[in-house]
C-alpha cells in the first residue's frame, strides 16, 4: 500500500515522505491548473488551491534540494489549450505570491526595505488595487494600434484570442495620445455580477448549462472559437500593468495608471496609494467591507511597489515578482456530507430542492441546510446523496452548495444514484405531485423550476406566507407560530395578513370566541391579543421584509427603507418606476431606462432583475389591496430617518458585535446607532470583526474575540469612541 503523505504535517515529514508528497502535490496542482486555466471548470475552491501551493512551498523551504523541475513554484497557470494558436509573451506574465494575514503584509514591506537596503524609517509607497477575479490578458500595441491579444497560459506562452478581444468595447483599437512604439498592456477580463445573472437566466431559457460564477463565465465567453459568441457576451476589461515596453511610460506605477486612462483604458477607480502597512491594511479592510456591494467579484487586494526603479531593482523570484503581493480574502467555505435532498414548497408554490447536510460552521454560522436552487443546478453539478460537498456562505447570502468533491465519491456500484426530481415527486402518486398537498406538480417549458398547481388549496403556500409575515425579522408576533397559524387557517379565523390585526375585533362575532377553543382559555387568548397589539406598530424595514417580495431579504429591506423613508413615498416611487420600465421593457441597462427605475437599481444590492421583481409586486392589484387592508386594519408603519453616515465616523466600514447586557442602551438602540455611523453589525465574531462591545455577563463571543485578537471595548469605551461619552 502506497504511503499517504497528504495528511502528515510538514514539520513531521522526513526526506522520503517529503519527496513523495512533493510529487503528489505537483501532479494534483497541475491538474487543478489545467481545470482552471484551460477548461474554465475549477473543481476546488481558491482557498483549497492556495493551501496546496502553500504546503508545497513549506516543504520546499524545509528540503530545498528536493524541489522538482515540475514544481508548482516554477510554473504559472497551465499550458495553452490546442484550440488556439500559441503566443509567446515577450515578457513573462508572472503570478503573485499571496499574503493571508496582516503579518504577511508587514513582512512584505520589510523584505522590500531589506532588499533595497533602505533605512527603517524610509517610506515605501505602494499602490493597492482590488484583485479582480477574472481572466488575465496581455494586449500588444504597435505604433499605437492593437495588433495581438493573448491569455496568460503558463506565463510564457498563451492563447491567441485577438479576434475575440477586438469585440470588447473596453479595449481600444488605437491608443489616444503618445505611446511607446511597442507596449504590452495587461489586465483582467471580467463580467459584472448583474450581467452574469442575466446571462445565466438566458441560458436557462435556452436549455443550456449554467456558468458557475462570473469568472468562469468571462473565461468561457472569451475562449470561443467563434468571435460572434464573444461579442454577444457582456465582457469588461480593467488594465493594471504592462509587459514589454520599447520606451518609458513614467516613473511610477501610479503615473502609469493615469497614462492608461489617457490612452482610453478603464482602470479600477478603487486603486489607492498607501505609504505604510497600516494604510495598506486599512484599504484592505475597507474594500473587504465593500466587497459584497461592488458590481464585480474580487478575491483580495494587490499591493505593488510604486516606483519603477525600485521594481527593477527588486526583480523576481521563481514565478513571482518581489515588488508585488496579493492579499487574499479569507474564504468562507467548508466541506461536509450531503446526507439527503429534500423538497420545500415556497410562498409562491415553487418546489425547491435543498441539501440536508452534516452540520458544519461556515462564516461564523452553523449550516445544516443549503439551497440547491433547482433541478438543473443539481444535475449540472451532479449532486448525489452521500457525496462530500463544498459549501459556502458570504455575508447574509443563503448558504449554497458549490461543488462535489469527486475524489471522495465511489467509482464502483456503490456510487450513489443521480437525483431526478420527477421520480422523487412521484413517489406514492400516479404523477409528480406537491409533497404537501398532493396537487399536480409541473415544470413549464422554458422554466427552471417545478411549481405546485394547487395555489388555492396548498396549505404550504398560505401558511408559509403568514409564517414569514409574523417571523422574528418581520412583525415578530410572539405566540403566533406555525402550529397556531395552521389552527387559525383550519378554522377560517385568519385568511390574510390583515386578518391578524382584526382578530380581536372579530372574536366571537361569527364563531366561537377564541377563549372557548380546545387548548385555549381567557388568559391565553388575551395574551395573544396583547402580543398582536404590541406589534401593530412596526419599523418600515421590517414591514418591507414582512410583505414577502421575491428576492427581498432582510438586508435589501433595510436599504429600501433607508432610501425611501416611508410607505407612501415608496409606493409613489414604484408607481413611477413602473411607468419608466414600461417605456423600455426589454432594456437591460438601468441607466438607459432612467427615472425612478434607475434610482431603484442604484440602491445597494439591487440589480435590474430584483428591481423588476419589486415593481412586479406593485403591479399586482391584489398586492396593492393587501397593503391597503393592512393600513385599514390599524397597522402603523414607523418611518425611517434617511441618514448618511458622517464622513469622519470612526467606525465606518467596521464590523461590530455587541454581546452581554448593556447598561445605558438597549441592544437594538446600540446596533441602530452603530449602523447610522456606517458600521456593519454582526451577530458572530470572526477575524473580520473590528470591535466587540461587551456588556455585563458577556460570554463566548468575548472569549472568541480574545482568541482571535479582536479589539474588545467596554460600553463606556464604545461610547467614547463614537463621541457619545
Q: How confident is the model at residue 74 (pLDDT cuts 50, 70, 90)?
A: low
Give yes or no for residue 77 having a pLDDT over 60.
Answer: no
Average pLDDT over residues 270-281: 95
Average pLDDT over residues 203-226: 76
Average pLDDT, the chain: 85
Q: What is the pLDDT of residue 671?
A: 82
| Cα 371 to the center of its chain, rounded Å | 15
Rounded distance between C-alpha atoms, residue 563 and residue 466, angstroms: 26
Average pLDDT over residues 589-610: 85
**Residues spanned by CATH 3.30.470.30 within the chain?**
98-328
Q: What is the pLDDT of residue 362?
A: 65
Average pLDDT over residues 309-319: 87
Q: Where does 540-638 sit in CATH, by number?
A: 1.10.150.20
What is the helix (H) or strand (E) element at residue 140, kind and residue range?
A: strand 135-142
Q: How confident is the model at residue 1 (pLDDT cuts 50, 70, 90)?
A: very low
Per-residue pLDDT tens for 321-358? 999 999 988 766 778 899 999 999 886 788 999 999 98
Rounded distance between C-alpha atoms, residue 719 and residue 725, angstroms: 5
Give yes or no for residue 259 having a pLDDT over 60.
Answer: yes
Q: What is the pLDDT of residue 635?
A: 95
Say which CATH topology domain 98-328 has: D-amino Acid Aminotransferase; Chain A, domain 1 (3.30.470)
Q: How confident is the model at residue 440 (pLDDT cuts 50, 70, 90)?
A: confident
Average pLDDT over residues 266-290: 93
Rounded distance between C-alpha atoms, residue 27 and residue 73, angstroms: 13
**Residues spanned by CATH 2.40.50.140 within the chain?**
333-452
Give yes or no for residue 66 having a pLDDT over 50.
Answer: yes
Q: What is the pLDDT of residue 528?
A: 94
**Strands 350-362 and 365-371, how do they pair?**
antiparallel
| Residue tagged active-site, from 131, 328, 680, 701 | 131
The helix/strand/coil state of 627 is helix
Among the listed ranges 140-149, 364-373, 397-406, 615-624, which one has the minimum average pLDDT value?
Answer: 364-373
Q: What is the pLDDT of residue 19?
A: 86
Give the highest mean pLDDT range of 37-46, 77-86, 140-149, 189-198. Answer: 140-149
Q: What is the pLDDT of residue 460?
A: 77
**Residues spanned by CATH 1.10.287.610 within the chain?**
10-75
Instruction: Name residues whose C-beta falls within 8 Å of residue 408's C-beta, 6 or more positions apart in sequence.
Output: 387, 388
- CA–CA distances in Å: residue 654 to residues 36, 169, 299: 34, 37, 19
Q: What is the pLDDT of residue 393?
A: 65
720 is catalytic: no
- What is the DSSP secondary structure assignment for residue 10, as one 8-state letter? G
Give yes or no for residue 25 having a pLDDT over 70.
Answer: yes
Say which CATH topology domain 459-535 has: DNA polymerase; domain 1 (1.10.150)
Give yes or no for residue 180 having a pLDDT over 90.
Answer: yes
CB 352 within 8 A of CB 358: no
Taking the CA atoms of residue 205, residue 211, residue 213 and residue 216 in that order, the dihedral angle to the nearest 10 degrees is: -140
Q: Where does 333-452 sit in CATH, by number?
A: 2.40.50.140
Q: What is the pLDDT of residue 585?
A: 87
Per-residue pLDDT tens for 373-414? 889 989 999 999 999 998 886 444 567 888 898 888 887 777
Q: Where does 10-75 sit in CATH, by number?
A: 1.10.287.610
**Strands 441-442 and 450-452, how do they pair?**
antiparallel
Give yes or no for residue 36 having a pLDDT over 80.
Answer: no
Q: What is the pLDDT of residue 395?
A: 42
Q: How confident is the model at residue 483 (pLDDT cuts 50, 70, 90)?
A: confident
Among the listed ranges 21-25, 294-298, 572-576, which one has the minimum average pLDDT value?
Answer: 294-298
Q: What is the pLDDT of residue 27?
A: 85
Q: What is the pLDDT of residue 301?
A: 94
Instruction: Name residues whose C-beta falls within 8 Å of residue 93's C-beta, 6 or more positions apart in sequence.
Output: 76, 136, 138, 152, 153, 155, 158, 186, 243
Average pLDDT over residues 359-369: 67
Say which CATH topology domain 655-721 has: Rossmann fold (3.40.50)
- The candidate with the shortest Cα–Cα distance to 721, out of 710, 711, 706, 707, is 711
Q: Which residue has the higher pLDDT, 647 or 146?
A: 146
Give yes or no for residue 80 having a pLDDT over 60.
Answer: no
> Please, where are the H alpha helices in 248-371?
253-263, 277-290, 308-314
Amino acid at each position: 500500500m502506497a504511503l499517504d503523505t497528504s495528511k502528515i504535517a510538514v514539520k513531521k515529514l522526513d526526506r522520503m515522505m517529503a519527496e513523495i508528497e512533493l510529487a503528489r502535490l505537483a501532479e494534483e496542482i497541475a491538474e487543478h491548473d489545467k481545470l482552471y486555466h484551460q477548461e474554465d471548470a475549477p473543481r476546488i475552491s481558491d482557498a483549497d488551491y492556495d493551501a496546496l501551493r502553500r504546503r508545497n512551498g513549506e516543504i520546499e523551504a524545509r528540503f530545498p534540494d528536493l524541489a522538482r523541475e515540475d514544481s508548482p513554484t516554477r510554473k504559472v497557470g497551465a499550458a495553452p489549450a490546442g484550440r488556439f494558436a500559441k503566443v509567446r509573451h515577450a515578457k513573462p506574465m508572472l503570478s503573485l505570491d499571496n499574503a493571508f494575514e496582516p503579518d504577511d503584509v508587514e513582512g512584505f514591506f520589510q523584505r522590500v526595505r531589506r532588499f533595497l537596503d533602505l533605512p527603517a524609517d524610509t517610506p515605501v509607497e505602494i499602490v493597492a488595487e482590488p484583485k479582480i477575479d477574472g481572466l488575465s490578458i496581455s494586449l500588444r500595441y504597435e505604433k499605437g494600434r492593437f495588433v495581438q491579444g493573448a491569455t496568460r497560459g503558463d506565463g510564457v506562452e498563451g492563447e491567441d484570442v485577438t479576434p475575440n478581444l477586438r469585440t470588447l468595447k473596453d479595449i481600444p483599437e488605437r491608443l489616444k495620445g503618445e505611446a511607446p512604439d511597442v507596449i504590452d498592456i495587461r489586465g483582467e477580463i471580467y463580467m459584472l455580477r448583474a450581467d452574469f445573472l442575466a446571462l445565466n437566466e438566458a441560458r436557462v431559457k435556452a436549455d443550456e448549462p449554467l456558468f458557475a460564477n462570473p469568472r468562469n463565465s468571462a473565461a468561457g465567453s472569451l475562449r470561443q472559437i467563434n468571435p460572434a459568441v464573444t461579442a454577444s457576451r457582456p465582457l469588461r476589461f480593467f488594465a493594471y500593468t504592462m509587459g514589454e515596453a520599447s520606451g518609458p511610460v513614467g516613473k511610477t506605477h501610479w503615473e502609469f495608471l493615469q497614462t492608461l486612462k489617457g490612452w482610453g483604458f478603464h482602470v479600477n477607480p478603487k486603486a489607492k496609494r498607501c505609504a505604510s502597512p497600516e494604510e495598506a491594511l486599512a484599504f484592505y479592510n475597507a474594500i473587504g467591507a465593500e466587497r459584497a456591494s461592488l458590481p464585480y467579484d474580487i478575491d483580495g487586494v494587490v499591493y505593488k511597489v510604486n516606483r519603477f526603479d525600485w521594481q527593477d531593482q527588486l526583480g523576481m523570484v521563481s514565478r513571482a515578482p518581489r515588488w508585488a503581493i496579493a492579499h487574499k480574502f479569507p474564504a468562507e467555505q467548508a466541506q461536509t456530507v450531503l446526507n439527503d435532498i429534500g423538497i420545500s414548497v415556497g410562498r409562491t408554490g415553487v418546489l425547491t430542492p435543498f441539501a440536508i447536510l452534516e452540520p458544519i460552521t461556515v462564516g461564523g454560522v452553523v449550516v445544516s441546510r443549503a439551497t440547491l436552487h433547482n433541478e438543473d443546478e443539481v444535475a449540472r453539478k451532479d449532486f448525489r446523496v452521500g457525496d462530500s460537498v463544498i459549501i459556502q456562505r458570504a455575508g447574509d447570502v443563503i448558504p449554497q452548495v458549490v461543488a462535489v468533491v469527486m475524489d471522495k465519491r465511489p467509482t464502483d456500484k456503490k456510487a450513489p444514484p443521480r437525483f431526478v426530481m420527477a421520480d422523487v415527486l412521484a413517489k406514492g402518486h400516479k404523477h409528480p405531485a406537491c409533497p404537501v398537498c398532493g396537487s399536480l406538480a409541473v415544470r413549464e417549458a422554458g422554466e427552471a423550476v417545478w411549481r405546485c398547481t394547487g395555489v388555492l388549496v396548498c396549505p404550504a403556500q398560505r401558511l408559509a406566507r403568514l409564517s414569514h409575515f409574523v417571523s422574528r425579522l418581520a412583525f415578530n408576533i410572539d405566540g403566533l407560530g406555525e402550529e397556531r397559524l395552521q389552527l387559525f387557517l383550519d378554522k377560517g379565523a385568519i385568511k390574510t395578513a390583515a386578518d391578524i390585526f382584526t382578530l380581536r375585533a372579530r372574536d366571537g362575532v361569527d364563531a366561537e370566541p377564541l377563549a372557548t377553543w380546545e387548548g385555549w382559555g381567557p388568559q391565553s387568548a388575551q395574551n395573544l391579543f396583547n402580543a398582536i397589539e404590541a406589534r401593530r406598530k412596526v419599523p418600515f424595514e421590517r414591514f418591507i421584509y414582512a410583505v414577502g417580495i421575491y428576492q427581498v431579504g432582510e438586508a435589501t429591506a433595510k436599504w429600501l427603507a433607508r432610501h425611501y423613508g416611508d410607505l407612501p413615498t415608496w409606493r409613489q416611487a414604484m408607481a413611477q418606476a413602473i411607468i419608466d420600465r414600461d417605456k423600455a421593457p426589454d432594456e437591460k441597462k438601468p441607466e438607459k431606462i432612467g427615472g425612478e427605475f434607475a434610482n431603484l437599481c442604484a440602491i445597494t444590492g439591487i440589480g435590474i432583475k430584483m428591481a423588476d421583481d419589486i415593481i412586479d409586486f406593485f403591479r399586482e392589484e391584489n398586492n396593492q389591496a393587501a397593503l391597503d387592508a393592512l393600513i385599514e386594519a390599524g397597522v402603523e408603519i414607523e418611518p425611517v430617518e434617511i441618514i448618511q453616515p458622517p464622513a469622519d465616523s470612526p467606525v465606518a466600514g467596521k464590523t461590530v458585535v455587541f454581546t452581554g447586557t448593556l447598561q445605558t442602551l438597549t441592544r437594538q438602540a446600540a446596533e441602530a446607532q452603530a449602523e447610522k455611523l456606517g458600521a456593519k453589525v454582526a451577530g458572530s465574531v470572526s477575524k473580520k470583526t473590528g470591535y466587540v462591545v461587551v456588556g455585563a455577563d458577556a460570554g463566548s463571543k468575548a472569549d472568541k474575540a480574545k482568541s482571535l485578537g479582536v479589539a474588545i471595548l467596554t460600553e463606556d469605551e464604545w461610547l467614547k469612541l463614537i463621541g457619545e461619552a
